[in-house]
Amino acid sequence: MSADENDLKRRMDGALDALKREFGGLRTGRASTSLLENVQVDCYGSGMPMNQVASVSVPEPRMLSVQVWDNGNIKAVEKAIIDSELGLNPQTEGNLIRVPIPELSEERREEMTKVAAKYAEQARIAVRNVRRDGMDSLKKLEKDGEISQDEHRARGDDIQQMTDGHISNIDTLLETKEQEIMQV
């Protein structure tokens, strides 16, 4: 693998990692600290990730506990959880916010699978964009006479195989997440 192919692989892997993080924030029926990871809290004049203003733990299988570090941010954290579209209803007790994880209705499960599919499609688009960048750079190298037409074709095939592998991984992740969401 050449240096630019390593870069393409790193960028495609980045799209996969981002998808895994997004899926972690999608609710199944169980409590998970990753559920609130992508929630942005408006405090100190900007949006900050939850893990920079509070610590999240799982004291029970269907309960999250959010320990807010600065008492001035409690309302902002509570509002961020409510506005997150995760269907959660936080209960504040001092500087601790309890977040019960309700059972998912069939309708809510279907909504979640649609969101998961949207995340997967965004990841596929990101991988295809990386492939396009790689193909464009190969075209330029051939045009500039730095590589032959045969080498262009061979390296193009390598990039396509890498792309197909990553898209296949995305599809597998999506299938697994959909099963997890629909499991009652």
Three-state SS sequence of the chain:
CCHHHHHHHHHHHHHHHHHHHHHHCCCCCCCCHHHHCCCEEEECCEEEEHHHCEEEEEEECCEEEEEECCHHHHHHHHHHHHHCCCCCCCEEECCEEEEECCCCCHHHHHHHHHHHHHHHHHHHHHHHHHHHHHHHHHHHHHHCCCCCHHHHHHHHHHHHHHHHHHHHHHHHHHHHHHHHHHCC
The pLDDT value given to residue 152:
93
The pLDDT value given to residue 1:
53
The pLDDT value given to residue 171:
96
Same domain, 139 and 49: no
Mean pLDDT computed over 98-102: 85
Distances (CA, A) of 53 to 6, 42, 143: 36, 10, 52
The pLDDT value given to residue 2:
63
Same domain, 90 and 34: yes
The pLDDT value given to residue 127:
96
Same domain, 14 and 69: no
**Does 100 score more than 90 pLDDT?**
no
118 or 26, which is more confident: 118
The pLDDT value given to residue 83:
85
Q: Which of 73, 100, 127 is the last residue of a domain?
A: 100
Global pTM?
0.68
Same domain, 15 and 60: no
171 or 23, which is more confident: 171
Same domain, 138 and 165: yes
The pLDDT value given to residue 34:
76
**Does 26 score more than 80 pLDDT?**
no
21 or 126, which is more confident: 126
Q: Which of 100, 127, 152 is the last residue of a domain?
A: 100
**Does 59 score more than 80 pLDDT?**
yes
Rounded CA gap, 91 and 159, in Å?
50
Same domain, 78 and 147: no
Same domain, 92 and 129: no
CATH number at residue 53: 3.30.1360.40
Q: Half-sphere exposure of residue 31, counting CA atoms within 13 Å on the CB side? A: 17
Residue 99 backbone phi and psi in degrees, to 5: -125, 95
The pLDDT value given to residue 49:
85
CATH number at residue 173: 1.10.132.20
Number of structural domains found in the chain: 2
Same domain, 109 and 176: yes
Which range marks the domain in which residue 175 is found?
3-23+105-182
**pLDDT tens-digit profile of 101-142?**
877 778 878 888 888 898 899 999 999 999 999 999 999 999
Q: Half-sphere exposure of residue 149, counting CA atoms within 13 Å on the CB side? A: 0
Same domain, 10 and 43: no
Same domain, 84 and 130: no
Q: Which of 100, 128, 160 is the last residue of a domain?
A: 100
Q: From the centroid of its chain, how far is CA 118? A: 11
Mean pLDDT computed over 77-97: 85
pLDDT averaged over every residue in the chain: 87
Distances (CA, A) of 164 to 12, 91, 157, 169: 11, 45, 10, 9
Same domain, 172 and 113: yes
Which of 31-35, 76-80, 168-172 holds the top average pLDDT? 168-172
Same domain, 72 and 126: no
